[in-house]
Amino acid sequence: MDRMPKWADVLLIPLISLTLAALLSALVILAIGEDPLAAVTMMVKGSLGSTYGWGYTLYYATNFMFTGLAVAVAFHARLFNIGGEGQAVLGGLGVAIVALSVPWPHWSLALAAALVAAALFGAGWALIPAYLQARRGSHVVITTIMFNFIAASLLNYILVNIMRPTGQMEPATAKFPKATHLPTLHDLLAPLGIPFSKAAPVNITLLIAVAACILVWVLLWRTRAGYEIRAYGHSEPGALYAGISPFRITMLAMLLSGGLAGMMAVNNVMGEAERLVLNAVEGAGFIGIAVALMGRSHPFGVFLAAILFGFLYQGGAELALWTNIPRELIVVIQALVILFTGALDNMVRMPLERLFRRRAGGGARGGAGGAGSSGSGGAESTAPKPHTRTTPIPGAPADEPAAGPTAADSPAASDPATPDGRRHPPV
Amino acid sequence: MTRNDPTGRPVTAAPDTSGPAHAGAGGGVGHDSVPAIELRGISKAFGPVQANRDISLKVMPGTIHGIIGENGAGKSTLMSILYGFYKADAGEILIRGKRVEIPDSQAAIAAGIGMVFQHFKLVQNFTVLENVILGVESGRLLKPSKAKARGLLKQLAEEYELHVDPDTLIEELNVGHQQRVEILKALYREADILILDEPTGVLTPPEADHLFRILEGLRREGKTIILITHKLREIMEITDTVSVMRRGEMTATLPTADTSPEELAELMVGRKVLLRVDKHPARPGPVVLSVEGLRVTDDKGVERLRGIDLDIRAGEILGIAGVAGNGQSELLRVLGGIAKGRGRVTMNGTPLPLEGAGADGRSRRAAGIAHVPEDRQHEGLIMDFSAWENAAFGYHDDPRFGSGTLMDNRAIQDDTRAKIERFDIRPADPMLSARNFSGGNQQKIVLAREIERNPDLLLIGQPTRGVDIGAIEFIHQQIVRLRDAGKAILLVSVELDEIMGLSDRIAVMFDGRIMGFRDPRITDEKELGLLMAGIADPAPATGGEG
Ligand SMILES: Nc1ncnc2c1ncn2[C@@H]1O[C@H](COP(=O)(O)OP(=O)(O)OP(=O)(O)O)[C@@H](O)[C@H]1O
Ligand SMILES: [Mg+2]
């Protein structure tokens, strides 16, 4: 049996985690003498109460969709790409070069070229960590983190010394020409007679992000490459047996991941800032990890989680603007959400699993009916959690060398006494 | 509760304590009439699957009770209920006459129940000692617990032949010894009821013999043992009473002394089972696979194959006999494209690359080689994939399953449904993930996938490990059918019976070399045993290579 019904896995756990994070945040707000209820109202109003608020929420969500998908794709191959930040930085560089070096006749051509450039630059930045992982087993977690720092320094150098227009103080490129400015949601909805805030940065890239979610879903569950990525992610010996090359899959998954992260730059660099500045990514690469974890590495989950995080971002900004709640506290709240949905996932999951195991199989009757049907949910199983390939997981029965007949023979896979290492989040 | 078995003989559902079979049972202590374990009306369903239905069972103290049954009959489920992993939908459990609730494994341990799983639950980079005391350390400091455990382990080792060095790391132990650690863990927790679920599946024959000596010792001390196995020989050899399960029900319980393997097989499957392989003599055709001077070195630098020469012809089964770990696995792996090697291998006259490009599973399949790997859970299947995804595993490039980059999932699912039907895979649900099938049915998924490809050469490792006798008969038939269709088959098995029964020619491997070829009709277990031990016979019974 899968450990619990699918609906519990994809809905109940995130919901409980979020509630816990919200409660803890409320306590913190109370502790500094503010009214949590008022704060929530303000957050909701500020992010969802107007098209302006929505415009920002969706703008952030667009960023997070790209970085969340990036992390999710790599997760499926059991690779932990935390280099989304650096890959998005490089993507921005690609976008800036494309926007500034060609006199584009129309934004649509510029957009197409920028997407390609962003993806290529992002993927290029993932290339070396991917190669080092695939050939030498250097862990991508380490190498991609290092590449984040290199990316930041590189951009700094390029902006200060190469791309900064002469006479400008700020380390940033020149403004992109008008022909490369992307239509905002306002522009897109106006012909349909739907009013939308003119000031909000959300733009056509949102639609591309949604399309990316769908395409990634197609890739993972409808293509041979996706099948191989998932197979490799679940079992490396299995992949070898089937003739799936670990080298190829590692490269493929990492390049796809880097490309997706890079594409984020089209939204923030081309769609919003309309020039390349330092620190344009603003941590979206890291938020992507939380988004992927919360979205269970499923593209549609990523879509929803990205919107949630967009809401938190925008709501948080509003709070900081209008209340005495300091900006740092917003970061605390966001961190709590990340903590509960990501790192502390097991805290909610384990008791819940136990609960479901107790109840599982009570016939087709009652609540356990869901448990029974869960076994059939295998069509789109969630990605395996990444782990260090070289270290054996203590006590993980799945990694036993002993060949054995029945999986059904080890219902103890989540025996609390010998926690199943596979379930531990990677952080 | 009395039932008629298919032979028409009445069978008592619980052994009579005063019966002769029990009185002779090892002369255990604690001869009272209270059963050590009593189950009453246990039922358990997983959604639509009724894994256990109204099961009642009594096991007397100081006896070994065997449980047999087809794959998916519900044996492991029943034991998992007894050990607190699943909660029964109905029914009650009595331990030494007292009703107990077993909500989790801690409660089971408190009730004196220990369980040895097929997949051990040991911490690989802890020592034996640390594993034994894990979770039951007394006090805050480790040292006193360790000292106490060390003393106890020594005592247990003497008493039951449970020798293991307490300071070795688990990862350095072979499976047989790891299993001893599992037993030690249970005994350290003062279990006097021990459940073993298919303990011999992964053991070599000498290791299995040793295990049985341990179990006999435990019985002598009055411990109660439940043994699940698919091997009727083991049931006959060591148990006092035996229960048969079928499709979730316990259909019979009888004293072992009063039954025979044939009768048990029939009770299990519900029809007469052929315990021998039924086949005509082979009609070998041209050589399909030819191997010369094949060498394989593992990643630790140890040479595992040291120059193998063999030919396999169309329409013959070449069986590789040998004690596990003498290079059989490497032979399969290098031919299957998983491991790298050196030497010369040709398939239908074309050389096969042994390293570099073209030395992978994909190219081997393209060359007409199918491979049923020894380790179905880690290699042959992706446990988290559904049955249909697994049914295309390795063949997911096949144009039948979609052209170009897109996969035609519908086509694969239909194909899987057909395979499920032909191989009688249960439950017949292509959407179910591989993990949720019982062992035998998992094996059938792999077999169906590989055999239905109609390969020129089938590599097949441990085809019936953990598989029930009904399915064994079926699997053997399929292998023979493929042979009769003119295909070449390389069979690796640690079951000597299987090798003897199925092979047309036997090669005995020892220490990475082939000790000799034998004709199964002429040779016997004794001769093979000597060869397997590396004792070369100067006068081979038949010239192996044709
Ligand atoms: N956790 C589970 N979820 C859903 N179905 C299950 C689960 N565990 C077992 N089953 C089903 O229950 C039935 C009984 O399985 P069980 O593992 O008890 O069989 P078994 O007798 O131990 O078989 P084997 O000899 O192959 O080990 C099978 O049909 C199996 O598919
Ligand atoms: Mg079982």
**Considering just the CA atoms, what is the radius of gyration of chain A in Å?**
23
Question: What is the B72 CA–ligand 2 centroid distance (Å)?
Answer: 7
Statement to judge: residues B198 and B70 lie in one domain: yes
For residue A359, the model assigns a pLDDT of: 63
Share of residues in chain B with pLDDT > 70 (%): 91
What is the rounded distance in angstroms from the CA atom of residue B216 to the CA atom of residue B237? 11
- pLDDT at residue number A114: 98
Average pLDDT of the segment spanning B211-232: 93
Chosen for mutation from A228, A400, A418 (greatest number of chain B CBs closer than 10 Å) is A400
Residues A1-48: pLDDT tens digits? Answer: 455 777 777 788 888 888 998 899 999 989 988 888 998 899 999 999
Query: How many Å lie between the alpha carbon of B431 and the closest alpha carbon of chain A?
Result: 5
Q: Do B191 and B340 sit in the same domain of this protein?
A: no
Cβ pair A323, A42 in contact under 8 A: yes
Q: What is the mean pLDDT of residues A293-314?
A: 92
Asked whether B322 lines ligand 1 (CB < 6 A), one says no
Alpha helices in A323-415 (DSSP H): 327-338, 345-359, 368-374
Strand order in the sheet with B350-351: B303-313, B287-297, B342-347, B350-351
Q: Give phi and psi for B518, each to the nearest 5.
A: -135, 155
Q: Which domain holds residue B298?
A: 274-368+457-546
Q: B442 CB near a chain A CB, below 8 Å?
A: yes
**At a CB cut-off of 8 Å and minimum separation 6, what does B5 contact?**
B11, B251, B252, B263, B266, B267
Q: If you average pLDDT over residues B24-50, what whole number do you get?
A: 76
**A388 CB-near residues (< 8 Å, 6+ apart):** A139
- Contact between B118 and B182 under an 8 Å Cβ cutoff? The reply is no
The answer to whether residues B13 and B104 belong to one domain is yes
Among B131, B188, B379, B432, most A C-beta atoms within 10 A, so best to mutate, is B379
The two structure tokens encoding residue B456: 């020129």
- Residues of B whose CB is below 8 A from A408: 76-77, 435-439
B200 ligand 1 Cβ < 6 A: no
The pLDDT of residue A393 is above 80: no
Residue B375 lies in a domain: no
Could you tell me if residue B376 is inside a domain? no
Question: Nearest chain A Cα to B80, which residue?
Answer: A411
Is the ipTM here above 0.85?
no
- Mean pLDDT of the region B327-356: 95
Q: CB neighbours of B156 closer than 8 A, spacing ≥ 6?
A: B162, B184, B187, B188
B448: which 2 tokens?
């169906």
Of B234, B252, B268, the position where a domain reaches its end is B268
DSSP 8-state assignment for residue A167: T
Q: How far from the centroid of its chain's Cα atoms is residue B88's Cα?
A: 26
Contacts of A15-18 with C-beta under 8 Å, sequence gap 24+, read: A16/A348, A16/A352, A17/A294, A17/A337, A17/A340, A17/A341, A17/A344, A17/A345, A17/A348, A18/A308, A18/A337, A18/A340, A18/A341
CA of B52, closest atom in ligand 1:
14
In CATH, what number does A51-307 get?
1.10.3470
Residue A163 pLDDT level (bands cut at 50, 70, 90)? very high
Integer angstrom CA distances of residue A81 from A74, A387, B380: 6, 12, 28
Higher pLDDT, A276 or B25: A276
Domain C-terminal end among B239, B268, B297: B268
| Residue B232 and residue B138 share a domain | yes
Q: How confident is the model at residue A205 (pLDDT cuts 50, 70, 90)?
A: very high
Cβ contacts from A onto B, under 8 A? 237
Q: What is the pLDDT of residues A324-350, one digit of tens each?
A: 887 777 778 878 887 887 777 778 888
Let me know: does B183 contact B116? Beta carbons within 8 Å: yes
**Mean pLDDT value of segment B344-368:** 94
Q: DSSP assignment of B401-461, as one string? A: G-STTB--HHHHHHHHHHHHHHTT-SS--TTSBGGGS-HHHHHHHHHHHHHTT--SEEEEE
CB contact under 8 A, B436 and A237: no
The reported pLDDT for the residue numbered B32 is 60
Residue A405 in this model has a pLDDT that exceeds 70: no
Predicted pLDDT of residue A294: 84
Of B48, B178, B407, the CB nearest to A222: B407
Q: Could you say which of B51, B125, B382 has the minimum Cβ distance to residue A238?
A: B382
For ligand 1, is residue B436 a contact (CB within 6 Å)? yes
Please judge whether A238 and B437 are an interchain contact, meaning their C-beta atoms are less than 8 angstroms apart. no
Residues B345 and B411 grouped into a single domain: no
**Separation of B46 CA from ligand 1 center, angstroms?**
9
Tokens representing B432 are 């179910």
Q: Nearest CB to B432: which of A360, A378, A418?
A: A378
Task: Please name which ligand lies nearest the alpha carbon of B231.
Answer: 1
Task: Give the mean pLDDT of chain B.
Answer: 88
- The answer for residues whose C-beta is within 8 angstroms of residue A186's C-beta and 6 or more apart is A55, A196, A197, A198, A200
Residue of A nearest to B385 (CA): A378
Ligand 1, atom 18, lies closest to the CA of B74
pLDDT at residue B533 above 90? Answer: no
**Would you say B36 and B95 are in contact if contact means Cβ atoms under 8 Å apart?**
yes
List of chain A residues whose C-beta atoms are within 8 Å of the C-beta of residue B47: 361, 364, 369, 371-375
Q: What CATH number has the domain bearing residue B542?
A: 3.40.50.300
Q: How confident is the model at residue B240 (pLDDT cuts 50, 70, 90)?
A: very high
Instruction: Give the whole-angstrom CA distance, residue B299 versus residue B339.
Output: 10
d(CA B221, CA B227): 17
Q: Which of A1, A3, A354, A356 to mutate to test the pocket of ligand 1 (most atoms within 8 A of CB)?
A: A1
Residues whose CB is less than 8 angstroms from the CB of residue B187 and which lie 6 or more positions away in sequence, other chains included: B114, B156, B160, B162, B194
Other CB atoms within 10 Å distance of the CB of residue A178: 9
Q: Which band of pLDDT confidence, cut at 50, 70 and 90, is reported for residue B139? A: low
The distance of A368 to chain B (nearest Cα, Å) reads 8
Q: Which residue on chain A is closest to B363 by alpha carbon?
A: A243
pLDDT at B445 over 50: yes
Cβ–Cβ contacts within 10 Å for residue B524, how many?
11
CA dist list (Å): B479 to A172, B401, B456, B483: 71, 25, 13, 6
SS (H, E, C) B319-370: EEECCCCCCHHHHHHHHCCCCCCEEEEEECCEECCCCCCCCCHHHHHHCCEE
Same domain, yes or no: B31 and B174:
yes
Query: How far does the centroid of ligand 2 lie from the alpha carbon of residue B115, in Å?
Result: 13
Rounded distance between C-alpha atoms, residue B25 and residue B241, angstroms: 9
Instruction: Find which of B81, B104, B122, B124 to mutate to test the A interface (most A CBs within 10 Å of its CB).
Output: B124
Whether residue B514 contacts residue B309, with contact meaning beta carbons closer than 8 Å, is answered with yes
Instruction: Please report whether residue B248 resides in a domain.
Output: yes
Identify the band that residue B299 occupies on the pLDDT scale cut at 50, 70 and 90: confident
Report how far ligand 2's centroid is from the alpha carbon of B76 (Å).
4
The answer to whether residues B252 and B11 touch, using CB atoms and an 8 Å cutoff, is: yes
At A113, phi and psi to the nearest 5?
-65, -40
pLDDT of residue A18: 86
Q: Is B14 in the pocket of ligand 1 (CB under 6 A)?
A: no
Q: Whose CA is nearest to atom 24 of ligand 1?
A: B71
- Chain position carrying tokens 């030690």: B184
**In chain A, what are the domain boundaries?**
51-307
- The pLDDT-based confidence of A418 (bands split at 50, 70, 90) is very low
* A70-99 residues labelled b (16+ CB within 10 A) or e (exposed): bbbbbbbbbbbbbbbbbbbbbbbbbbbbbb
Q: What is chain B's alpha carbon radius of gyration, rounded to the nearest angstrom? A: 24
Work out whether strand B505-510 and strand B513-518 pair parallel, antiparallel, or are unpaired: antiparallel
State yes or no: cis peptide before A36, omega within 30 of 0: no
B contacts of A223 (beta carbons < 8 Å): 405-407
If asked whether residues B263 and B223 sit together in one domain, one would say: yes
| B400 in contact with ligand 1, CB cutoff 6 A | no
> pTM for this structure?
0.82
Give the pLDDT band (50/70/90) at residue B16. very low
Domain shared by B129 and B86, yes or no: yes
The amino acid that residue A174 corresponds to is A
Ligand nearest to the CA of B230: 1
In order, the DSSP letters of B173-211 are S-HHHHHHHHHHHHHHTT-SEEEEESTTTT--HHHHHHH
Inform me whether the pLDDT recorded for A371 exceeds 70.
no
* Tokens (6 digits) for B84: 């607190």
pLDDT at B225: 96
Cβ <8 Å between A243 and B134: no
Report the share of chain A in percent with pLDDT over 90.
61
Q: Which residue, chain included where needed, has tokens 């938190």?
A: A312
Q: Does B544 score more than 70 pLDDT?
A: no
Residues of B in contact with A421 (CB under 8 A): none
Residues in B closer than 8 angstroms to A364, CB to CB, are 45, 47-48
* Per-residue pLDDT tens over the stretch A354-363: 787 666 544 3
Our CA-based measurement puts residue A226 at a distance from the nearest CA of chain B, in whole angstroms, of 9
Find where tokens 């449904």 sit: B417
Judge residue B300's burial from the number of C-beta atoms within 10 Å of its C-beta, 0-12 exposed, 13-18 middle, 19 or more buried. Answer: exposed
Residue B195 lies in a domain: yes
Residue B302 CA to residue A18 CA, distance in Å, equals 53
Residue A378: pLDDT above 70?
A: no
Using a CB-CB cut-off of 8 Å, the residues of chain B touching A383 are: none
CB A70 within 8 A of CB A294: no
Q: What pLDDT was estimated at residue A413?
A: 35
Among residues A204, A178, A206, the alpha carbon closest in space to that of A100 is found at A178
Is B373 domain-assigned?
no
pLDDT attached to residue B109:
92
Residue A373: per-residue pLDDT: 35
- For A235, A369, B316, B492, the CA distances from B348, given in Å and listed in that order, are 32, 54, 15, 21
For residue B480, pLDDT beyond 90: yes
How many Å apart are CA A148 and CA B421, to the nearest integer? 53
User: What integer is the mean pLDDT of A172-179?
Assistant: 94
Going by alpha carbons, the residue nearest to atom 3 of ligand 1 is A1
Is the pLDDT score of B437 beyond 50? yes
Q: In angstroms, what separates the C-alpha of B152 from chain A's closest C-alpha?
A: 22
Q: Are residues B311 and B243 in the same domain?
A: no
- Which chain B residues are within 8 Å of A406, Cβ to Cβ? 71, 76, 118, 198, 438-439, 442, 466
Among B431, B454, B477, give the residue marking a domain's end.
Answer: B454
Buried b or exposed e, range A252-285, using 16+ CB within 10 angstroms:
bbbbbbbbbbbbbbbbbbbbbbbbbbeebbebbb
pLDDT-based confidence at residue A167 (cuts at 50, 70, 90): confident
What integer pLDDT is reported at residue B483 of this predicted model? 96
Q: Does residue B543 carry a pLDDT above 50?
A: no
B338 and B429 share one domain: no
Q: How confident is the model at residue A97 (pLDDT cuts 50, 70, 90)?
A: very high
How far, in Å, from the CA of A418 to the mean position of ligand 1?
22
Which whole number is the average pLDDT over B42-62? 93
A415 contacts on B by Cβ (under 8 Å):
85, 105, 121
- Encoded amino acid at B94, one letter: L
Cβ contacts of B219 within 8 Å, gap of 6 or more: B25, B26, B28, B62, B63, B64, B225
> Quick one: pLDDT at residue B352?
96
The yes-or-no verdict on residue B454 having pLDDT over 90 is yes
Q: What is the pLDDT of residue A133?
A: 96
CA distance B45 to B52: 7
Residues B418, B513, single domain; the answer is: no
Tell me: pLDDT of A374 over 50: no
- Angle A246-265/A284-294 helices, nearest 10 degrees? 120
> Could A403 and B434 be called an inter-chain contact, meaning their C-beta atoms sit closer than 8 Å?
no
pLDDT score, position A3: 58
Q: What is the DSSP string of A168-203?
A: --SSB-PPPPGGGPPPBHHHHHGGGT----SS---B
In a domain? residue B374: no
Asked if B433 and A404 come within 8 Å (Cβ–Cβ), the reply is no
Neighbour-count burial of B98, counting CB atoms closer than 10 A to its CB (0-12 exposed, 13-18 middle, 19+ buried): exposed
Asked if the Cβ–Cβ distance from A376 to B431 is below 8 Å, we say: yes
Say yes or no: B8 and B42 in one domain.
yes
As for how many domains chain B has, the answer is: 3
Task: Tell me which chain A residues have a C-beta less than 8 angstroms from the C-beta of B397.
Answer: 224
**What pLDDT is attached to residue A360?**
55
| Per-residue pLDDT, A380 | 59
